[in-house]
Copies of this chain bind each other. A is one copy, B any other.
Amino acid sequence: MTEDFQAITRFIVEIEQLKNVDRKIKPVGVNRYENSAEHSWQIALLALTLLPYAEQPTDHLKVVTMLLLHDIVEIDTGDKFAYDANHDDYENELAAAKRIFAILPDSQGAKYLALWIEFEHANTPEAKFAKAIDRLMPVIQNIHNGCQSWLEHDIAIEQVLAKNIAIEGAHPSLWQWIKAQVIEKGTQAGVRLK
């Protein structure tokens, strides 16, 4: 068992580095860019809070575990802005996932790698829900922080709506509500339409 504890300790020390990975968004009322560790905390909690409204049966623990794990690869690859052309970096991220989860005891590492891959492929109800929550969070933040990351990166309202359509798949009624706010707040803040 001591070997397992050693491996788990190495893993938890390794992932300290996610606190050094900056994202493109500033939290509401916080005058700095957020990092991927605190983002992961917040979306795990957002998922837990929205899961009772899920429109199909969804394993809560699996969703939360996916969200806590999903950004760890950024320790090696950095955060990719959702609207960048090179956002899709699956091969590099997979290599990072394999490196980092291999620090853990074998069965644990294999389980986390499988969950990370399931999240990326977004085919199961849990992965779809988790992906939608990961997308939803910066939309909520932009709606409440003057559309900071959309304006800083010259993103159009139409791009926001197209990029976040995955939220509709996971939760149609939530998407309708959010979509109206994206248009309203985006227009007020001077985000271009197209």
Binding site for B on A (CB under 8 A): 1-2, 4-5, 8-9, 11-13, 15-20, 27-30, 34-35, 37-38, 40-42, 44-46, 48-50, 52-53, 60-61, 64-65, 68-69, 104, 108, 137, 140-141, 144, 173-174, 177
Contacts and interface: CB of A to CB of B under 8 A. Distances in A.
Contacts of A173: 1
Contact of A49 (B16, B46, B108, B140): B108
6 contacts: A13-B28, A16-B28, A20-B29, A41-B68, A44-B44, A52-B108
A180 B131 CA distance: 42
Given A37-B42, A38-B35, A12 B140 contact: yes
For the residues of A in contact with B, the DSSP-based class is helix
Given A13-B28, A140-B12, A177-B2, A37 B48 contact: no
A112 to B, nearest CB: 8
The 3 A-B pairs of least Cβ separation, nearest first, read A41-B41, A37-B38, A16-B27
A46 B16 contact: no
Given A50-B8, A64-B61, A42 B30 contact: no
Contacts of A19: 27, 30, 34, 38
Given A16-B30, A40-B41, A44-B44, 13 more contacts: A1-B53, A2-B177, A11-B49, A12-B45, A12-B137, A13-B28, A13-B144, A15-B45, A19-B30, A35-B38, A41-B41, A44-B64, A45-B68
